[in-house]
Chain A
Amino acid sequence: MQQISLNQDCVPVENTLHIQLGDVTCALKCSDSDVYERLQKVYCEYETEQSPDITVELEAANRLPLEKLEPAVFKMKYIPINGKGFKTSNRLMSGHYDPARRLIKLKGERPLLNPDLKINHLNRLLVLTYYTACKHKYDNTPPAMFVHTCGILRNGMALLFTGPSGAGKTTIARLCSALDGELINDEMLLVSRPDESSNEIIIKSAPMLGEYSPRRNITAPLRCIFLLKQGANCLAHRLDKTEAYIKFIRQVVSPACIGQKDKKSIYSMMADFSVQVTGSIPMYELEFSLDVKSLWKTITDTEKLLGIKENREWANI
């Protein structure tokens, strides 16, 4: 009979994965071996030996069939409880945080924890975990915050393409190789606060799942941000700081930690972060069509204005 070692919470020790979320290390424990195996596969690039800042124990439940679950998930709302937990409006998921042990216990319907299914809530749970850990590790001032954006690496620097749903982030990701770039992530990235002396902002990939999420763990300095707008032509125009702030703040993912009810302090953190970022980095509104050649030229021309030396010629497209 195979002997397995169990930790005190009765999860097999081998079902524990340490992953890097920016500057936070999270230990993911999952008693469901099938879910654990899937998580290990998608998060492998972010595995780390570092000891965790926070632990998440996932318990998968099988109460609803998938066909009933899918429509229910779209109406699901997270409700904070007592400052130390949450539940969802339709009871499909719940979480409890023990701050003394830095432990989040999450119970959810199995498909919500399965990275192979589109209805998974893993991104949301990782964001919650990150900010909960930052509350303690960084005295509630995270060094980087999550932004809804597609990030591309070009010439050693990151370009962010952001905008509301349907603006074209996934399209940009799809066109990435034609844009002579490497996709960092098409869903969400960690954007640091500007460095106090150099004003540099660093982009870090995180294990966020999107349509095209590659598995590489990339860190790069940020060159500029494009706010996407679909149109008939490819045009980029520089936004003034007020416009940039108003548009950028809407793309910042809520930095709520588990159980946090105080919306004003959440919005205040988003506002301060947005002031810092848009005050340090140029932001452009990028109207674009699916004419890849024009899109590439518009982006390259913008980079040239920003002083990037172009070292590749556009050829044969």
Chain B
Amino acid sequence: MGKYLAQSKDIIWRRIGDDIVIIKDGGISTHVLNKTASLIWEMCDGNTDIGKITSNICKRFEVSYEEAYADVNATVNILTNANILK
């Protein structure tokens, strides 16, 4: 649970309403994060580990820790595989 996550430096992101839009490689790839993924993204500041992110999600939504952890982990894996989280 000690995995610290940070946003990649070579991306541009902006919040548009509930969504976050991430543009990478000068616009070659674009990623749209929904409301929950956007909250997870904003917590990836390099100082917050996945356990803390999960706890914050649990406080925000009425879900069990295990369920939240599974969702956070899945989201983080997708973003890491896309090279927008490190």
- CB of A246 within 8 A of CB of B26, answer no
Q: Is the CB of A246 within 8 A of B32?
A: yes
User: Is residue A264 contacting chain B, with contact meaning CB distance below 8 A?
Assistant: yes
**Would A249 and B16 be within 8 Å (CB), given that A242-B32, A264-B10 are in contact?**
no
Are A275 and B14 CB-contacts (below 8 A) given A242-B21, A246-B21?
yes
**Cα of A22 to Cα of B21 in the assembled complex, Å:** 30
- In contact, B12 and A242 (Cβ under 8 angstroms): no
> A242, B27: Cβ atoms under 8 Å?
no
Instruction: Kindly list 17 other residue pairs between chains A and B, CB separation below 8 angstroms, not including A245-B16, A249-B27.
Output: A241-B16, A242-B16, A242-B17, A242-B19, A245-B21, A246-B30, A246-B32, A249-B23, A264-B10, A264-B12, A267-B12, A267-B26, A267-B27, A268-B12, A272-B14, A275-B14, A275-B16
In which size bucket is the chain A interface?
10 to 19
Interface residues of B, dominant DSSP:
strand
- Docked complex: A237-269 residues within 8 A CB-CB of B: 241-242, 245-246, 249-250, 263-264, 267-268
Q: How many residues of B contact A (CB 8 A)?
A: 12
A-B contact pairs, 11 of them (CB 8 A): A242-B32, A245-B14, A245-B16, A246-B30, A246-B32, A249-B23, A249-B27, A267-B23, A272-B14, A275-B16, A279-B16
Q: How far is the CA of A49 from the CA of B44 in the complex (A)?
A: 54
Report chain A residues within 8 Å CB of B21.
242, 245-246
Kindly list chain A residues whose C-beta atoms are within 8 Å of the C-beta of B17: 241-242
In the bound complex, CA of A246 to CA of B29 (Å): 11
A79 at the interface (CB under 8 A from B): no
A245 to B14, CA, bound (A): 10
Report A-chain residues with C-beta under 8 Å of the C-beta of B14: 245, 271-272, 275
In the complex, the chain B residue whose C-beta lies closest to that of A272 is B14
List of 5 A-B pairs having minimum Cβ-Cβ separation, nearest first: A267-B12, A242-B19, A242-B16, A271-B12, A241-B16
Residues from chain A with a CB closer than 8 A to the CB of B10 are 264
Interchain nearest-CB distance for B4 vs A (Å): 23
CA distance A272 to B14 in the complex (A): 8
Among residues of B, the one whose C-beta sits closest to the C-beta of A270 is B12
